[in-house]
Amino acid sequence: MEKEKNPGLVQFRGVMKRFGDVLAVEKTDLDIPEGSLVTLLGPSGCGKTTLLRMVAGLETPTEGDIYIKGNRINDVPIHKRNLGMIFQNYALFPHKTIFDNVAFGLKYRNIPKDQIKEKVSRALEMVRLPGVENRMPSQLSGGQQQRIALARAIVIEPDVLLMDEPLSALDENLREEMRLEIDNIQRMLGVTSIFVTHDQREALSMSDKIVVMEGGRKQQEGGPEEVYNNPANHFVADFLGHSNFVDGVIQSRDGDGYRVKLEDGNELMAEGGDWREGDAVEVVVRAQKLDIVPRDSHQTDDAVNCFFGKIKERSYMGGEVSYFVELENGTVLHVIGIVKTKPFRRGDPVAVTAPPRHCKLLRKES
Amino acid sequence: MLAPSLSAVFFLLVIPVCFVVVYSFWLRSPYGADIPAFQFGNYAKFFDDFFYPSLLIRTIRVALETVALCLVMGYIPAYFFYRTESRLKPFLMILIMLPFWISFIIRTLSWINILGDSGLINHLLMKGGFISAPLPMLYNEAAVLMGLLQYLLPFMILNIYVSLDGIDKSLTEAAKSLGCTEWQAFKEVTLPLSLPGVSAGCLLVFVLTCGTYLPPMILGGPGNDMIANLIFKRIVGTLDWPFGAALSTILLGLLGVIVYTYNRYLGINQIFKTLQ
Ligand SMILES: Nc1ncnc2c1ncn2[C@@H]1O[C@H](COP(=O)(O)OP(=O)(O)O)[C@@H](O)[C@H]1O
Ligand SMILES: [Mg+2]
């Protein structure tokens, strides 16, 4: 029988961090479930690293408590926390061999020599770099060094694996490979992990849970699909993917949806939420969810949420094309379309349709 | 691109040294200009009287003592500069450089006002009634070491600091996350990675001590002369240029051998440097 997983292996309770006048992290509550990979996602300076470093014991919370496996660890020094850390710049010890690097944590756990040897070679196999024990870090490439850093962190069987932008120093093509590597190993070992990144693709592709942060505050927390499809606010909708925003006012309820009077004069059907007539809202539509067709091939004039305009800008991106469409009333929409036949050119008249179920409503933020 | 620096080295260093070496073979004439010659009399004179080699030995001993003192007293502030996040850091760094803006002679002379019979310390001790006669603190080796330390400590601090500053702070954080205490992380990571700076600082302090004559001249007694004092006295005092040149050549040769061996032996540290 499988052991029940702890839903809050790491718990933040009212955790806040201030550096002098700078409020790096506002009062935050957060649970990291056992065995899961949770991503802290947000733009630079939003407090992700600070949150991670408080788990590591490299920063002390100004207020609040952090628990690991139910034990409050605020006052436990870093070397007693049993954590694996992976840094952006690998942080391998340049004067030690790969073996000594990977064995480092084991040495401080008083593990017998022969066992250390065995564990090190198993960890190196796991990161697919067997037999490099006697090399020096500088003799390995960046991607290999980061894999050694991963081996060094997991070999001690940490309670929590902490990763601060571990992929951002790598070349574009290596990044994907290393991401899969981390993803696989994390799942194989089932080690509870916190992964910090500003890259939404990394976050969306590997996380069990994403915590979107901005200005030191948690904006939304949820699975990748939930966060992507149901953004909680303007920031999340804007940060993840490419979105169009139009302000409007709820006019009436219409079946499952709402009729919204947009500020540019158009009218639009949207779905979801619980709104009252007169509520000020913001309509969000993902650029990928808009349909775009040539104007003349568009038949019916009574289709819902259909707008006419001209291609203003376009950029070809291989499999898809990104268009900016200027509507007749001047509003500009961002549309990302898959190239089926021939991409549109600048100036082409087009019809853009926004399916109501992809038009999400957010409360208008002042 | 290299031409200007190479010619500077050539004209300002190689040629003068060649002159000194050539001069060391000349004969001294008591009456007029020295006589060009090729003979080893000046060198023989050095080894004939043990007084001369003994000065060289003392010089090396004092230089080693200075290196040891500078190392201990230099590592601590260098490490402090590396670790501190104080806003005062740039200001404190300037304080380290400040002595360079004051003439070396003045700085050395100022110790007389501190350690001398009527200097600050004796004055305070006598006023306070702790002693009745001034303590003799000047004109001994300790005073010379004090002067040397004051002169050379900034070089040591800066060399070590530069080396420490190149160490990525996440290395110590990684070490601590793997189970090291602060002190263990220092021993495992920071100290070994700062050795190139330590090694460069030690060599610099050693060589500079061997070549200096002001602290022994101003703060030392008759028994504290070092080899550079002898050279100074022979050339400026008795105008014995050929012997002075021979002494200089011997010192130069010895330092050359020491620097060469040191670099070969401590070449291991170069590996650390290149690894970073
Ligand atoms: N040691 C520190 N001293 C002062 N301010 C800091 C320190 N560390 C981080 N900050 C500030 O806290 C905020 C959050 O930083 P950080 O957690 O590093 O953000 P992120 O990792 O999301 O880019 C930033 O405004 C940053 O300037
Ligand atoms: Mg960061």
Write down which residue in A213, A237, A261 finishes a domain: A237
B23: confidence class by pLDDT, cuts 50, 70, 90: very high
CA–CA gap between residue A280 and residue A172 (Å, rounded): 42
Lowest-pLDDT range, A341-345, A349-353, B227-231? A341-345
Q: Are residues A193 and A249 in the same domain?
A: no
Q: Are residues A194 and A269 in the same domain?
A: no
Mean pLDDT, chain A, whole residue set? 93
- CA A88 – ligand 1 centroid, Å: 15
In this complex, do B275 and A95 lie within 8 Å of one another by their Cβ atoms? Answer: yes
Q: Is the pTM of this model over 0.95?
A: no
- Enumerate helices (H) and strands (E) in chain B, giving the number of each: 15, 0
Name the nearest CA neighbour of B211 among B223, B225, B228: B228
Q: Which of B177, B189, B198 should one mutate to test binding to chain A, selecting the residue with the greatest count of A CBs within 10 A?
A: B177
The answer to whether residue A2 is domain-embedded is no
Write down which residue in A221, A237, A253 finishes a domain: A237
In this complex, do A105 and B272 lie within 8 Å of one another by their Cβ atoms? Answer: no
What ipTM goes with this model? 0.87
Sheet with A349-353, strands from edge to edge, namely A291-294, A349-353, A306-316, A320-327, A332-338
Q: How far apart are the first and last CA of chain B?
A: 28
Lowest-pLDDT range, A57-71, A298-312, A330-344, B212-226? A298-312
Nearest to B178 among A105, A138, A162 (CB): A105
A105: tokens are 């944590």
- What pLDDT does A60 receive? 96
- pLDDT above 90: residue B31: no
The answer to whether residue A232 is domain-embedded is yes
In this complex, do B184 and A95 lie within 8 Å of one another by their Cβ atoms? Answer: no
CA–CA gap between residue B231 and residue B137 (Å, rounded): 26
Atom 20 (ligand 1) nearest CA: A45
CA–CA gap between residue A40 and residue A213 (Å, rounded): 7
A175: confidence class by pLDDT, cuts 50, 70, 90: very high
- CA A47 – ligand 1 centroid, Å: 6
Atom 26 (ligand 1) nearest CA: A45
Lowest-pLDDT range, A195-209, A242-256, A287-301? A287-301
- pLDDT above 80: residue A260: yes
- pLDDT above 80: residue B207: yes
Which atom from ligand 1 is nearest to the alpha carbon of A216?
Answer: 14
The answer to whether residue A218 is domain-embedded is yes
B270: confidence class by pLDDT, cuts 50, 70, 90: low
Going from the C-alpha of B170 to that of each of A102, B143, B162, the distances in angstroms are 16, 42, 17
Write down which residue in A183, A214, A237 finishes a domain: A237
DSSP calls for A315-333: EE-SSEEEEEEEETTS-EE
The answer to whether residue A1 is domain-embedded is no
- What pLDDT does B275 receive? 44
Determine the distance in angstroms separating the CA of A23 from the nearest CA of chain B, rounded to an integer.
18
- pLDDT above 80: residue A327: yes
- pLDDT above 50: residue B95: yes
Q: Are residues A221 and A269 in the same domain?
A: no
- CA A298 – ligand 2 centroid, Å: 48
In this complex, do A77 and B181 lie within 8 Å of one another by their Cβ atoms? Answer: yes
Q: Are residues A93 and A205 in the same domain?
A: yes
Q: Which of A83, A98, A108, A135 should one mutate to test binding to chain B, selecting the residue with the greatest count of B CBs within 10 A?
A: A108
Mean pLDDT, chain B, whole residue set? 91
Counting every residue, how long is chain A? 366
Which CATH number does the domain housing residue A61 bear?
Answer: 3.40.50.300
Nearest residue of B to residue A135, measured between CA atoms:
B275
Three-state SS for A144-210 is HHHHHHHHHHHCCCCCEEEEECCCCCCCHHHHHHHHHHHHHHHHHHCCEEEEEECCHHHHHHHCCEE
- What pLDDT does B99 receive? 87
Q: Which range, A103-112, A283-292, B88-97, is most confident?
A: A103-112
Q: Are residues A249 and A233 in the same domain?
A: no
**In the predicted model, what is the mean pLDDT of residues A322-331?**
91
A2: confidence class by pLDDT, cuts 50, 70, 90: low
Q: Are residues A142 and A277 in the same domain?
A: no
Alpha-carbon dihedral angle through residues B88, B90, B96, B101, given to the nearest 10 degrees: -120
Ligand 1 contact via A197 beta carbon (within 6 Å)? no
CA–CA gap between residue A140 and residue B177 (Å, rounded): 23
* Domains of chain B (ranges, CATH numbers): 42-85+140-275 (1.10.3720.10)
- What pLDDT does B265 receive? 80
Q: Residue A117 is part of which domain span?
A: 10-237
What SS3 state is found at B66?
helix
CA–CA gap between residue A31 and residue A218 (Å, rounded): 12
Q: Are residues A230 and A247 in the same domain?
A: no
- pLDDT above 90: residue A296: no
A59: tokens are 């920063």
Determine the distance in angstroms separating the CA of B75 from the nearest CA of chain A, rounded to an integer.
20
Q: What percent of chain A has pLDDT over 90?
A: 81
pLDDT tens by residue, A131-154: 999 999 999 999 999 999 999 999
A84 contacts chain B (CB < 8 A): yes
- What pLDDT does A299 receive? 67
> E strands along chain B, which residues?
none
Nearest residue of A to residue B179, measured between CA atoms:
A79
Which CATH number does the domain housing residue A255 bear?
Answer: 2.40.50.140
**Distance, CA of B142 to chain centre:** 15
CB count within 10 Å of CB A77 equals: 11
**B179 conformational bin, left if phi > 0, alpha if psi -120 to 50, beta if neither:** left
Evaluate whether A344 touches A326 at the Cβ level (below 8 Å): no
CA–CA gap between residue B209 and residue B220 (Å, rounded): 14
Q: Are residues A233 and A317 in the same domain?
A: no
Q: Are residues A293 and A156 in the same domain?
A: no
**Neighboring chain A residues of B180 at a CB cutoff of 8 Å:** 79, 108
Nearest residue of A to residue B271, measured between CA atoms:
A95
The answer to whether residue A3 is domain-embedded is no
In this complex, do A85 and B175 lie within 8 Å of one another by their Cβ atoms? Answer: no
The answer to whether residue A5 is domain-embedded is no
Q: Are residues A169 and A278 in the same domain?
A: no
Burial class (CB in 10 A: 0-12, 13-18, 19+), A335: buried
- Contacting residues for A78 by C-beta, under 8 A, at least 6 apart: A56, A57, A58, B173, B176, B177
Determine the distance in angstroms separating the CA of B155 from the nearest CA of chain A, rounded to an integer.
25
The answer to whether residue A115 is domain-embedded is yes
- pLDDT above 60: residue B200: yes
At which residue do the structure tokens 């009218």 appear? A267
Nearest to B275 among A58, A89, A94 (CB): A94
**In the predicted model, what is the mean pLDDT of residues A58-77?**
96
Q: Are residues A45 and A167 in the same domain?
A: yes
- What pLDDT does B266 receive? 75
A56 contacts chain B (CB < 8 A): yes
Contact residues, A window 133-162, toward B, CB-based 8 Å cutoff: 136-138, 152, 156, 162
A319: confidence class by pLDDT, cuts 50, 70, 90: confident
- What pLDDT does B165 receive? 95
**In the predicted model, what is the mean pLDDT of residues A312-322?**
88
CA–CA gap between residue B204 and residue B155 (Å, rounded): 8
B271: confidence class by pLDDT, cuts 50, 70, 90: very low
The answer to whether residue A4 is domain-embedded is no
Q: Are residues A231 and A248 in the same domain?
A: no
Evaluate whether A25 touches A169 at the Cβ level (below 8 Å): no
A243: tokens are 């979105």
Ligand 1 contact via A22 beta carbon (within 6 Å)? yes
Domain count, chain A: 2
**In the predicted model, what is the mean pLDDT of residues A66-74?**
97
Lowest-pLDDT range, A171-185, A225-239, A296-310, B224-238? A296-310
- What pLDDT does B276 receive? 43
pLDDT tens by residue, B129-174: 999 999 999 999 999 999 999 999 999 999 999 999 999 999 999 9
**In the predicted model, what is the mean pLDDT of residues A332-349?**
87
Nearest residue of B to residue A88, measured between CA atoms:
B170
